[in-house]
Amino acid sequence: MRRGRRILHKVMLVLVSGLLFAGCSSGPAQEAEQVSSLKVMFWNENYFYQEYGDLFAMKYPNIEIEIVTTDRIYQDSDKEDFDREKAFADFIEAEQPDVLLLDANEYEKLASAGKLTELDPLIAKDKYDTETIFPGLMEILKEKGGGKLYGLSPTFYGSVVYYNADLFEKYGVEVPHDGMSWQEILDTARRFPTDGDEKTRIYGFGSDYGMSMEDLASGIAYTQGLNYINPDTMKLTINTDSWKQVYKMAMDGLDSKAIYNPDNGGFQGGSMEEYYQSQPFMMGRMAITVGAPYMLQNMKDAQQRLKDYKPFRIGAVAGPVDPAEPDKSRNISVSDIFSIRANSANADAAWEFIKFVNGEEFAKVKSRTLNGGTLSRMGVQKEFNGVNLDVFYKLKPKVDNDSDNYDKIPESFHEQYRTIFDREIKLVQEKKKSIDEALQTVQDEGQAVLDKAVKEEAAGKKEESAAEVE
């Protein structure tokens, strides 16, 4: 039944393919005629055809695609001894897909293990244009590929600083600039009025659902590359001057009343119209926010859905950044990477697919909306709803591998640590403890919990090994 659906769908697509891709060279299509099938690993078949497969079928009607969905990998995930990495490897070995959809960690591990096909020779052979692909994305992929390229992604993810230009003009505040630090953002937010009730007042800064002290501190710490634990040494690192400064900045920001932090936690559910109306920035009542491209799409949708919506001028600048590296961002990432499995029998067809979904033709079709990430192909989508999208390509990615070994941390540690941490931060917010005192307690009690968890895990593994020997 599924095969019949695909064939019928493909016939309909072929009928209109000439309209969308008229003028395309016939070279690649003629080569593809020699291939009868292509197996693609993806998380959902319907979504694959909606996003990639239907358009690909228009240009390559002679390639029969088979989707192998990854949901089977996680069918035993509720078992105590579930090993995700092994289940993932076993799935690939069993299914032998030609094209793999990978996240950044999977890509890095498979590349280092020699499980992926290097793309640089294929790019050189076909003179495939990568000049207009965001250099930051290529940098991430090559760094995680050990200096070589083993995959491409049609999109990447990043965030920028949005601002309400009308509010800045109304209150005579200088507009944001590229490369703003968190301190500059919060200082700017304080220049807006704080009077009025929660539902009608202006906010200097915030996010969709409000921003607690912990939310704000986490955002600042991430931008600066701070980690609360070193998984290699199994030592907590939260009682440092850097972390103290982060929490002081966050606490001062909340105390200023300039930040949107509703008592009920923000939107609790309802219709899309109610969701839009609950968003201060979207409704013109917030000066600054940090967000991804989809925010612009949501604002366009809100303008169309809400009868009394009042549009306003939106600006966007690159940031926030770590003052130590103002030209870089840790908020640039990639997750949907298409790679070719090493020794694939259909490597040529797989390469045609990867070239297509990462090409300019495909990007032009996808440039009409901003529901996904930012397009990797630069210059295709210049603006959206009045906002220049070049801002998403201004900063270089800062690739940190500090969190790669976090799976070494025993699972039992996290819940106990969170209890300690939440208790201490609550005392800080209630002004019953200083930040220095709270972080010292978190460091001391958290380290004791971690040491115990490490010992218990080691003892458990020793018992398991002994049982296997017997």
Asked if residue 421 is part of any domain, the answer here is yes
Asked if residue 249 is part of any domain, the answer here is no
Asked if residue 236 is part of any domain, the answer here is no
Asked if residue 462 is part of any domain, the answer here is yes
pLDDT of residue 274: 87
Domain co-membership, 10 together with 147: yes
Q: Supply the mean pLDDT for the chain.
A: 88
Q: What are the backbone angles phi and psi of residue 251, rounded to the nearest 5°?
A: -65, -45
- At 373, the amino acid letter reads G
Q: Tally the domains of the chain.
A: 3
Asked if residue 248 is part of any domain, the answer here is no
Residue that terminates a domain, selected from 329, 354, 375: 329
Domain co-membership, 425 together with 454: yes
Q: What are the backbone angles phi and psi of residue 286, rounded to the nearest 5°?
A: -135, 135
Q: Is the pLDDT of residue 194 over 80?
A: yes
- At 240, the amino acid letter reads T
Domain co-membership, 10 together with 152: yes
> 50-65 burial string, b = 16+ CB within 10 Å, else e?
ebbbebbbbbbbebbb
Identify the top-confidence range among 61-75, 171-185, 451-465.
171-185
CB 262 within 8 A of CB 334: no
pLDDT of residue 17: 40
Domain co-membership, 71 together with 56: yes
Q: Is the pLDDT of residue 1 over 60?
A: no
- pLDDT digit string, tens, across residues 137-191: 999 999 999 999 999 999 999 999 999 999 999 999 999 999 999 999 999 999 9
State the average pLDDT over residues 2-26.
39
Domain co-membership, 69 together with 23: yes
Asked if residue 239 is part of any domain, the answer here is no
Task: Name the pLDDT band for 337 (thresholds 50, 70, 90).
Answer: very high
- pLDDT digit string, tens, across residues 222-241: 999 999 999 989 999 999 99
Q: Is the pLDDT of residue 396 over 60?
A: yes
Q: Is the pLDDT of residue 115 over 80?
A: yes
183-192, 271-280, 331-340, 428-437: segment of lowest average pLDDT: 271-280
- Single out the residue of 46, 51, 91 nearest to residue 70, CA to CA: 91
% of the chain surpassing 70 pLDDT: 89
Residue that terminates a domain, selected from 397, 421, 440: 397
Domain co-membership, 301 together with 449: no
Name 314's bridge partners.
164
CA distance 115 to 121: 16
Structural domain that includes position 441: 404-469
Task: Name the pLDDT band for 34 (thresholds 50, 70, 90).
Answer: low
CB 116 within 8 A of CB 89: no
Domain co-membership, 296 together with 378: no
Domain co-membership, 186 together with 91: no
Asked if residue 369 is part of any domain, the answer here is yes
Asked if residue 388 is part of any domain, the answer here is yes
Q: For the domain that residue 351 is a member of, what is the CATH number?
A: 3.40.190.10
Q: Is the pLDDT of residue 4 over 70?
A: no
Domain co-membership, 417 together with 282: no
In sign, the C-alpha dihedral spanning 381, 384, 387, 389 is negative
Whether the model pTM is above 0.85: yes
pLDDT of residue 404: 60
State the average pLDDT over residues 287-301.
93
Q: What are the backbone angles phi and psi of residue 296, rounded to the nearest 5°?
A: -65, -40
Domain co-membership, 117 together with 146: yes
Task: Name the pLDDT band for 9 (thresholds 50, 70, 90).
Answer: very low
Domain co-membership, 349 together with 443: no
Residue that terminates a domain, selected from 296, 329, 362: 329
Domain co-membership, 314 together with 343: no
